[in-house]
Structure 1
Amino acid sequence: MTDQPTVLFVCVHNAGRSQMAAGWLRELAGDRVRVRSAGSEPADRVNAVAVQAMAEAGIDIAGTTPAVLETDAVRESDVVITMGCGDACPVFPGKRYEDWTLDDPAGLPLEDVRPIRDAIKARVEALVASL
């Protein structure tokens, strides 16, 4: 791992969980970590309820755009966090991989997305401490 590790968050649509995780990591680690996120089947836009839930926590992810998962993004990352993307994520030796089991916020009301947001924050805090 480099002095400034790169963390890649991956979920299917790159519209909810991975975007919230990236937002938390940027907030909690600042410029100590390079943050990336992508999806195996990216949506057209970030989940509006995820944006609202993060805004309640003071984090703006409204300007982010879902991105397609590319092999180079995995190759260039030190830590790869998957969130329900199955076998779509390529595996390279020497990378740290974690799979976070989290509910998908797609189609859920705000009151059901808040606990997902908070669970992601707790996992990102543990991730920051381990880097």
Structure 2
Amino acid sequence: MSGRLTTHVLDLSGGIPAAGMALQLWRLEDGAASLLREAVTNADGRLDAPLLEGAELAAGTYELLFMAGDYFRSSSLPFEASGEGGSADGAAPFFLEQIPIRFNITDSSAHYHVPLLVAPGGYSTYRGS
């Protein structure tokens, strides 16, 4: 079985999958970051395909960057952004505007699943299966 990298995002504030959350996958190497993928979660809070798989999945350090502020601003759930000021487009910033999760891949034949449980004021992650 070839290795793969997947993710899943759940919106704990509504008890629903985080559909429509944008994310980026970065590879970190020798002090530099390279953008590998940009994706948006589907209706189930998942991606339609793995972020990396097979020969693309190499040992190294990676970072998933989740655009939580944009997601919560576009959500129909009743909550407000926190903080003062606003962004260039006039939208108020969220406490968790972007959520970076940095992790290492050591076995390119394994399945690495990086789930995100998120709410406007906090998040949790773990090595899933």
Question: Structure 2 length normalisation: TM-score?
Answer: 0.29
Q: Which structure is larger by alpha-carbon Rg, 1 or 2?
A: 2
Higher relative helix content? 1
Question: Structure 1 length normalisation: TM-score?
Answer: 0.29
Higher relative strand content? 2
